[in-house]
């Protein structure tokens, strides 16, 4: 699972022994992970569009729109995960 992609942002939590397997993650953690993967994939598509010198701009506009949408989706998922973890920490502390 250590295939390196030159433009991939590594998720350090997956590399630690304490990181739960995919099936043991909470729904919010699974969603945040999925959104991060989706954004990472779209970044690769955008890089390909940038490298395509024959592109007249339509693909670039489409990539920009998707990147904005996927980044918003990821930020929502991350905030939900943060809220879930704060609540879990409160429950543990109580």
Residue ranges per domain, the chain? 26-93
37-77: per-residue pLDDT in tens?
Answer: 999 999 999 999 999 878 788 889 999 999 999 999 999 99
CA quadruple 67, 73, 77, 82: dihedral positive or negative? positive
Distance from C-alpha of 73 to C-alpha of 81, rounded to nearest angstrom: 12
Tell me the average pLDDT of the chain. Answer: 82
pLDDT at 14 over 60: no
User: Which pLDDT score, from 0 to 100, does residue 58 have?
Assistant: 86
- Provide the terminal-to-terminal Cα distance of the chain, rounded to the nearest Å: 38
Instruction: Describe the chain by its helix, strand, coil percentages, rounded to 5.
Output: 70, 0, 30
pLDDT at 9 over 50: no
- As a whole number, mean pLDDT of residues 22-32 equals 89
* Residue 60 contacts residue 49 (beta carbons within 8 Å): yes
User: Which pLDDT score, from 0 to 100, does residue 22 have?
Assistant: 58
């Amino acid at each position: 699972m250590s295939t390196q992609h030159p433009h991939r942002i590594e998720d350090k939590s997956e590399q630690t022994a304490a990181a739960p397997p995919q099936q043991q993650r909470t729904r919010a953690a699974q969603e945040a992970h999925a959104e991060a993967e989706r954004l990472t994939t779209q970044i690769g598509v955008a890089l390909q569009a940038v490298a395509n010198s024959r592109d007249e701009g339509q693909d670039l506009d489409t990539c920009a729109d998707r990147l904005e949408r996927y980044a918003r989706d990821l930020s929502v998922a991350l905030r939900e995960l943060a809220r879930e973890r704060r609540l879990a920490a409160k429950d543990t502390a109580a």
